[in-house]
Amino acid sequence: MERMGGKRRKTRHISLKYYREKGKVSIRKFFQDFAPGCKVMLLTDSSHPGGAPWRRFYGKCGTVRGKRGGCYEITFFDGGKEKLLITHPLHMKKI
């Protein structure tokens, strides 16, 4: 039997937004720039599912390695292993 669910399964608490944050996504947040070596936190914006990291990486901190198209490459440690994640700047916050 195949596993039920998909990428956004069991994410209701992550997807909730404060009522003042609902509506259109700000252009400033959508096009924000990050320099290589910059520290960022992964925070998924539920209104824009494209380029969102997997839910287990929500709240993780990492380092920007470079840019790939309109997204950024982020490296971080998950357990004892270094991982590379490609995500949209909308789902990142500078630390």
Domain positions in the chain: 25-94
Mean pLDDT for the stretch of residues 13-20: 84
Tell whether the model's pLDDT for residue 31 goes beyond 90. yes
Name residues whose C-beta falls within 8 Å of residue 24's C-beta, 6 or more positions apart in sequence. none
Domain 25-94: give its CATH superfamily: Ribosomal protein L21 (2.30.30.70)
Q: What is the mean pLDDT of the chain?
A: 90
Segment 36-73, tens digit of pLDDT:
999 999 998 888 888 888 888 999 999 999 999 999 99
Q: What is the pLDDT of residue 54?
A: 84
pTM: predicted TM-score of the whole model, two decimal places: 0.84
Which residues are paired to 67 by β-bridges?
Answer: 72
Quickly list DSSP for 23-69: SSPPHHHHT----TT-EEEE---TT--TTPPPGGGTT-EEEEEEEET
Percent of the chain with pLDDT over 90: 54
